[in-house]
Every structure is written in structure tokens, then in C-alpha cells.
Amino acid sequence: MLIHAKDHPVLRDAVAWHLTEVRYALPRRGDARVVLGIHRGEESLQLRFEGVDDFSVTSGFPESPASDDQVRVRILDVTHLQWDGVTVRVESSCGGLAFWARSVRIGEGLSATKRRAHRA
């Protein structure tokens, strides 16, 4: 099933990025969203996934067996499956995080590590 999946084009070399943040939201029934904060070197950004389904996080996540103790994610293009609009599969390097999504985009204007200042 996933053996024919290729890396998703939203982010070149996604496995080179380290996972720093996971946010899951259910604003309306059937409209789950996930935001993943990732970084590589001095760069930080957010990936926003819409239409998330089958979201799972295992107990103890993010314990990582990786030698550098950094959790990474693999983002796959699964449009070949033709599953009711699902185009993305995400899996973490340590196996503790996985989900399907209808779409993914790089978040606009906000990095994963900086927040806008509030003006009074």
C-alpha cells in the first residue's frame, strides 16, 4: 500500500527536519487539523495539515530511538491510493505519531519558535 508512496513535495527532504511541536485541533466535527513545528539548523516553520483522519499518538511519545535523540517525520504523497480526497500520510521516525490528511501546506507568517507580540 505505502510502498508506492513518494515523499510529498510540500517540503524537500522532510526527514532532515526535527519535530519540535505537535498541535491537534477539532474545531468542527470532521474537520480535524494538525500543526507540526519543525526545525533544521537555524530554520523553523510550521506545517499545517487539514482534513486529518486516524490521528494517533502512542503512550510515551516522543521517546526516540534515533541516535541523535531527535524525532523526525516522513511526509508521503498518497494520492495514488485515491481514498476520498486523502493525499498525505505522516509517520514519525520513532513510530509514535501517525495520521492521514487531505492536504498540507507550509504555515504562513509564523515560525514554530517565534510568536507575534500582542499590541495593547
Q: Which of 88, 110, 112 is nearest to 98 (CA)?
A: 88
Joined grid coordinates for residue 62: 516522543
- Residue 120: inside a domain, yes or no? no
99-115: pLDDT as tens digits: 999 999 998 644 444 43
- Residue 118: inside a domain, yes or no? no
- pTM beyond 0.85: no
**Residue 55: which residues within 8 A CB-CB, separation 6 or more?**
24, 32, 34, 98, 99
Strand partners, 25: 33
> Phi and psi (nearest 5°) for 31?
-130, 50
If one counts the domains in the chain, the total is 1
12-57: pLDDT as tens digits: 888 888 898 999 988 777 689 999 999 998 889 999 999 999 999 8
pLDDT of residue 70: 78
- Residue 63: inside a domain, yes or no? yes
- Residue 116: inside a domain, yes or no? no
pLDDT higher than 70, residue 72: yes
Which parts of the chain are beta strand (E)?
A: 6-7, 18-25, 33-40, 43-50, 53-57, 73-77, 88-92, 97-101, 103-106
Task: Work out the burial of residue 17: count CB atoms within 10 Å of its CB; fewer than 13 is exposed, 13-18 middle, 19 or more buried.
Answer: buried
3-24: pLDDT as tens digits: 777 878 888 888 888 898 999 9
Q: Which residue has the cell 534515533?
A: 66
pLDDT of residue 1: 60
Residue 43 structural domain: 2-106
